[in-house]
Amino acid sequence: MRQNQKNGPPKDRTPKLKKGDKTVNILTDGTLNYIRFMDRKEVRVLTTAHGANSIQTGKTNPVTKEPIVKFEAVHQYNQFMGAVNRNPCFEIYHTMKDFKRAYKRRHQEEDE
């Protein structure tokens, strides 16, 4: 979700997060949950399917040896987004570079 999205959460209820800040902002409006926290970058999640539950991923931080805890929405996104195959989406779009390459190959074969 973009920071300045129209009809988004009010700016006065969402203070700016600093790097390394562990605070979490959760705004709930009925079934819609807005989760905002600071990881390496600021992460914003807008979800209707997940609550604000945190779960352990089963992995540990190699430096601190603490278990890694993520929000359920983030964990499921990371877990299942790898199954989306986006390669066929772009196969029908050919670039000018593709056409030039094919043109050169055809004319090189004719010259030989």
* Residue-range domain boundaries for the chain: 11-104
Residue 84 CB neighbours (<10 A): 7
What's the token pair of residue 83? Answer: 């199954």
Positions in the chain whose pLDDT score sits under 70: 1-5, 8-14, 20-23, 25, 83-94, 111-112
Give the residue ranges of DSSP H helices in the chain: 72-80, 96-111
Rounded to two decimals, the pTM is: 0.55
Q: 34 pairs with which residues across the strands? A: 27, 46
Residue 52 CB neighbours (<10 A): 16
